[in-house]
Chain A
Amino acid sequence: MSVIELTNVSRWYGNVVAVNDITMSIGPGVTGLLGPNGAGKSTILHMIAGFLATSKGTLTVNGGPSWENPEIYRTLGLVPERDSVYAFLTGEQFVRATAKLHKLPDPDAATRRAIEITDMAAAEDRRISTYSKGMRQRIKVAAALVHDPEILLLDEPFNGMDPRQRLHMMDLLGKLGAEGRVILFSSHILEEVEKLSGTIQVMVAGRLAASGDFRAIRRLMTSRPHVFTVRSSDDRRLAAVLVGRPYTSAVEFTGRGSLQVRTSDFGAFCAQIAPLSRDNGIALRELLPTDESLESVFGYLVSNQANQGS
């Protein structure tokens, strides 16, 4: 059963379309909203959280609208990307104040529970202004969780965290998702989304480029055509060997002492280029992926989807 439903949702600012005709439904478990910066991830999250109206389409949370409906905050928690909190409060005061604003029957117990699950007990009596970026992120999560919400939205929760904090946060989100909560977080980093697995929604330039099980999307991403620049001790020989392989779709001499190799299977090419060179007595000097930017990965997904559609 899905809790968050978007149907043909668009949002524009003047002439700029930030979110373009998106339909998706999000249910219990961890869902990653993946996309390069400026893809419209925050806009989507803000609309779901009731802090932005849709320009077109319908958006419901638990069957009701979220815009101009503060009642949804009884079952929804939001962790905004911006770091601004009441920095003059201690972590504990901030979480407790949030518990009181929710008019919880036992704000003390709720505060303790939220601080415990986010592992902030050691720093709860320090002012938030003294916190590191990762700790601020966690105290914001604690405040967002204090009323035990069914839905938790997080905007770039891993930004600025060190690897250990990142792991801890992933763990926490995984646990919350396994409890049957709806966890939706945005990220522009593939690996973060991958580690938390679950389902993902990939956004590019305001559109939904792919959605579903992470493994299927990962396969789509790794088996896409890649272009590599290769330098070796014998480019012509290497070219001849590569042309004989099924995963090579084109080889070109650049004239600058290197080869441009286009492969249809990223995984196979990467696994075999080194042993292949060695077996043929060729020394590999350089192997550079030329289009590894996230944008090109996403771009491929979009064109792929367009091809399937037509």
Chain B
Amino acid sequence: MSAYFNPVIASITVRATLGRRRALLFAIPAAVLIALTLAVRATHPAGNSWAAQVLGDFGFSVLLPLLALIVGTGVLGAEIDDGSAIHLLATPVRRSSIVFTKFVVAAVLTMAFAAIPELIAGLLAPGSGKLAVALFAGALVGSVIYTAAFVMTSVLTTRAIAVGLLYVLVWEGLLSNTVGGARILSIAHYSLGVANAIYPDPDLRAGLTLSTSVILGAIVTAGALILASRRLSAFAIKGEPA
């Protein structure tokens, strides 16, 4: 693992990602989730099963993918877009090591700004200690898979944000809830599958079993990272056909 993780790249990436008050920006969606939980708790009677809905629908379907999208496409994609990646690429560092390091940074930041808030919100919801832990575990898994997928997208295309949004909104938001087969390629469902295995709650509307979620999630993560490394090895500066 240490052969793949490069601390110099990691520290530059963290500074680039969180610099210029962007850390505050990342904290806003998390704050919204916690505020929403508090507001619903104040207006709803205890015993109502709203917790899984709020935390599942907002936390899992909006907060987690959105943060993973911004962070995941930013850690490497921003450098590729503005051209500074060339300083990194003009060194003998292995391309797989660049991709892996960027992915680890993105995954950890997504956990900090999406999975941990999910845990806090879960603990705030009434009588749902076990649900909170389940959602937290699911969000951790989701952070890993989503960021791997979005790091890959940012290497493959300059329109990574648009592609990622389409995936989250159309594929996950629409298709995977109406067309059963689409769930097989839905990262949100992998995350829900894990959460549901720890604390089964019908309101989570999990569509996949634990083993399916874990196996598919591992395949998607590994595949995305390998593909991204391959693509980065053949990184070409955009030509100016003049």
Contacts and interface: CB of A to CB of B under 8 A. Distances in A.
- A interacts with B: yes
Interface of A: 11, 13-14, 16, 18, 37-38, 42-43, 46, 49, 51-53, 67-68, 70-71, 73-74, 76-78, 80, 82, 84-86, 88-89, 94, 97-98, 100-103, 140, 143-144
Consensus secondary structure, chain B interface: loop
Contact of B241 (A16, A53, A73, A89): A16
Contact of A78 (B8, B19, B90): B90
Contact of A84 (B84, B233, B239): B84
B12 A86 contact: yes
Contacts of B93: 70, 101
A102 B239 contact: no
Contact of B12 (A18, A37, A68, A89): A89
A194 to B, nearest CB: 25
Nearest to B94: A70
B189 interface: no
B69 to A, nearest CB: 23
Given A88-B20, A89-B12, 10 more contacts: A13-B239, A51-B237, A70-B89, A78-B90, A80-B86, A80-B87, A82-B86, A86-B15, A86-B87, A101-B8
Contacts of B86: 51, 78, 80, 82
A80 B8 contact: no
Contacts of A74: 92
Contacts of A97: 8, 12
Interface of B: 6, 8-9, 12, 15-16, 19-20, 82-84, 86-95, 233-237, 239-242
Q: Which 9 A-B pairs have the closest CB atoms?
A: A38-B242, A16-B241, A84-B83, A13-B241, A101-B91, A82-B83, A84-B84, A84-B82, A51-B237
Consensus secondary structure, chain A interface: mixed
A51 B233 contact: no
Given A38-B240, A52-B239, A102 B12 contact: no
A102 B237 contact: no
25 contacts: A11-B239, A13-B241, A16-B241, A38-B240, A43-B239, A51-B86, A51-B89, A51-B235, A52-B236, A52-B237, A68-B234, A70-B95, A70-B233, A74-B92, A80-B86, A80-B87, A80-B237, A88-B19, A94-B87, A97-B8, A98-B87, A100-B8, A101-B88, A101-B91, A144-B90
Contacts of A73: 90-92
